[in-house]
Structure 1
């Protein structure tokens, strides 16, 4: 009933306001509405000054949140002379101009060295932990094996054998050099064979060969001599014995 009564007061006050060609109701419009609805307006001051009245305080004023500023990149361009000033402004330059967003690489020697050292230390630490977790480990304490894991030292029967044997890298380089020398020898032999077969005077050379049909070793060694001194086989010096 109270809601309908208040709604009727507001509707009638709005109707009286519009009847007088206004858009906002005022106090006289409300008084006329109460009089028309049969309410005694003189009793309002007495009712407002009663001892058991309930005062509704005004809501606290809260500060409006500050509108965040838009991130501006660069300086906006002004309008040229042929564009009126009431037109909207140009957008930020980064919307239509290419701007690099990557950082310049650090070229300071000290920073680069510190970064390389830290990366190397992290790699060694990670590799040590991986080997400690996957392989056999030892510990400084007998009770707790997982606190300070150490890579187990495997004793060998001949400890100096690893220093005498060549490493895997040296073996690989030796295999590569041997294969390259063999390829060069086969190519040279094929080339000499083709030259002999194509030469019209091959019969004369064959007639000059010894009865065994084999060329002297000196001539074969001269054909296989490599012009590049870095690719020639190593010649060991002759040891002279003291008399």
Structure 2
């Protein structure tokens, strides 16, 4: 859409140039050819000017970048200034709005909390949760104090542990079970006392 609008403006430019050169009319094919030439010329000049601006570390082109672009296109600045001095200033036939038009920015809805936010918090931040979710509250740890119930619970835990150990040792696919069968029963010897070892050494 913007490309078609730009070409319409170039047609008006060509028509005004022809009118300034005392031309009574122009063929449509000739007008389209001149529009194509002018469009290619302006796009090439804009591309070169933008390239020189980026090479200089800038994002927008200035007069020096345009001058370097014209020099790259083999255009003599002296001849252009001489041609411009021979022409009369002619205003454009119509007012040109800024284009291409950007998309309208959507208004962002700011979520506000019922409570006033502190001044150091930006308005686009989400509101605070309810106070009941982060205020300090007392925590009560319930512990069993009945000795009879404590004894019953400990006995159940011991029975559960013994049951799991029994299943672990009697499982045929367990490596512990195979080791016990190959090596025989495990016999744990009580640790020797140092005094007894000393007595045995003295008796010898």
Structure with the largest fraction of helix? 2
Instruction: State the structure with bigger RCO (CA 8 A, min sep 6), 1 or 2.
Output: 2
TM-score, with length taken from structure 2: 0.30
Computing the radius of gyration from Cα coordinates, the structure with the larger value is 1
TM-score, with length taken from structure 1: 0.26
